Amino acid sequence: MPRMTAARAAVEILKREGVSNAFGVPGAAINPFYAALKASGGVRHTLARHVEGASHMAEGYTRARAGNIGVCIGTSGPAGTDMITGLYSAVADSIPILCITGQAPTAVLHKEDFQAVDIASIAAPVTKAATTVLEAAQVPGVFQQAFHLMRTGRPGPVLIDLPIDVQLTEIEFDPELYEPLPVHKPAASRKQIERAIRMLNASERPLLVAGGGIINADASELLVEFAELTGVPVVPTLMGWGILPDDHDLNAGMVGLQTSHRYGNANFLESDFVLGIGNRWANRHTGKLDVYRQGRTFVHIDIEPTQLGRIFAPDLGIASDAKAALALLVEVARELKAAGELKDRSVWAASTQERRAALQRRTHFDDVPLKPQRVYEEMNRAFGPETRYVTTIGLSQIAGAQMLHVYRPRHWINCGQAGPLGWTIPAALGVATADPDGSVVALSGDYDFQFMLEELAVGAQHRIPYVHVLVNNSYLGLIRQAQRTFDIDFQVNLEFENQNSPELGVYGVDHVKVVEGLGCKAIRATEPDQLLPAFEEAKKLAAEHRVPVVVEAILERVTNISMSGTDIASVNEFEDVATEPGHAPTAIRPLAVS
């Protein structure tokens, strides 16, 4: 049997599990693993500037393509604790990433050795498994189990902690004999699916709620086929946006308190039956449950059995992988359609599109400083259906979800539940690494942008091009808007007069200078007519120089974006809504004026 270090065995397993890219920061306690990474070859490594950034890069990389598993690597102690936010983000949104940390020698783990911390205990609540490997011979099995766990059931992250002496110990291991463990996913039964379709068929105004679990299962085509067979309109969740194109006649719009469409909420409130697949009834989607549930029957299909009934008890719950359930749903629907037993939903579906044409938000404003709505209007003009959008949280993300258009799965890559500031830049780098020839466009407010700004240098060093749209009002806009409830405007104002850039006035940080100092390109737009040319120039610069290109749009200081603090029936629009076609020129449906 061949002999090699446990670290080398781990690297060989990574390759046989399909890993081709890793993101990380080396250090003393993980250097044996890095030595094995170099000696083995076959895994491209991207050096991050912050270990948390490496974890978000890994997540972006996973999200970009079906089957990807991003890997992040760091030394002991603070490297592991820095990656906790990335693990939390991944577990919250059911994203598999593998976090590998170095550790002090096993003999001194209990002796307060330098950077020795019980990272496995710290990471346990935000992973599917977190293990400190104390015996070198167990390394192959622990890595094998890690990939099995990440792919089995509800996907999620795993952490493996490797003491330095364990990494260096030679073990007997033959990579040629290694095989991944079979993956298990629960599957709905024919009887369960027949019941669900009978319930759907008995309704008058049904909707499908399509969640991120469908994208994780790579089942978007099946969802579209089922919707078209039955004629049932679809409400994508924020994590499921792109499952069917925004311009599809069965797209009923998004629902929720914040990242929703006027017509989406209106369509939902008219429904009497909801079939949710791969979704978790997130509170910013549902709002108050008494409003959301009133007068509706619910069927819920989810890969995680304990998710069923967690938020509210459905009328029927089915534990199943989304692809397995949808394959059966399509099969049964085909049979019923052939037998003429499916209801005609054309009138109901048409009514959802009538609301889409009538209930729109205004995007066209000529104000200076810019209104954010105009930025998204021009983004719709500049960036086509092939664009992958990447964003995390804030008014920029909420407004983007209300006004941008997404046409394909994995083309809206959004950190959903955790929403850490700073996620966007490293995640976009991970997405662009996975899709180097694709069109990747990130979206940030100024505060999210500043949290992990240093990671732009990673894009410059490793030639990772993408376009980053930065909407700058020098405010914590979402928090300021939330503080209206308390009648305060406290510790959310980022303005100051930058003595080195007086032309900015009170907008403080000169992002153009900082971005250029990190080796990237930057363009600033201050007037509406500058936006589209800036976006077009950014695309050219990214292609020419193979680096991130930032387009900074200087916004009005205060904007209130449409949202509700309570329920989906009472969204405050704040701005005047669209009343003529010119108010929303890039809307999917031309505004219908009564």
**Which of 459, 500, 494 has the alpha carbon at shortest distance from 480?**
494
Of 11, 13, 19, 25, catalytic: 25
Neighbours of 576 (CB within 10 A): 10
Q: Active site includes 479?
A: yes
Which residue in the list 395, 476, 509, 550 is annotated as catalytic?
476
Residue 83: φ, ψ to 5°: -85, -5
Strand partners for 163: 103
Number of Cβ within 10 Å of residue 327's Cβ equals 18
Candidates 479, 512, 514, 532; catalytic one: 479
User: d(Cα 69, Cα 14) in Å, to the nearest integer?
Assistant: 10
Contacts of 544 (CB under 8 A, 6+ apart): none
Distance CA 47, CA 527 (A): 37
Q: Give the integer Cα–Cα distance in Å for 80 and 87.
A: 10
Task: Clarify whether 421 is annotated catalytic.
Answer: yes
Q: What is the residue whose two structure tokens read 């969640």?
A: 211
**Alpha carbons 292 and 274: distance in angstroms, whole number:** 11
* The pair of three-digit structure tokens given for residue 122, joined into one six-digit string: 């710290």
- Angle subtended by helix axes 84-92 and 51-64, to nearest 10: 20
Catalytic residue among 421, 464, 470, 549: 421
Helix (H, G, I), strand (E, B) or coil at 8: helix
- Three-state DSSP at 38 gives helix
398, two tokens: 């909420």
Quickly count: other Cβ atoms within 10 Å of residue 575's Cβ. 16
Q: Which distant-in-sequence residues (6+ apart) come within 8 Å of 379 by Cβ?
A: 400, 404, 441, 469, 535
CA distance 284 to 422: 21
Buried b / exposed e across 192-228, counting CB within 10 Å, b at 16+?
bbeebbebbeebebbbbbbbbbbbbbebbebbbbbbb
Answer yes or no: 149 catalytic. no
Q: Is 514 one of the catalytic residues? A: no
The question of whether 166 is a catalytic residue gets the answer no
Question: Alpha-carbon distance 161 to 98, whole Å?
Answer: 11
The size of the chain, in residues, is: 594
As to burial, measured by CB atoms within 10 angstroms (0-12 exposed, 13-18 middle, 19+ buried), residue 163 is buried
Give me the active site residues, please. Answer: 25, 51, 421, 476, 479
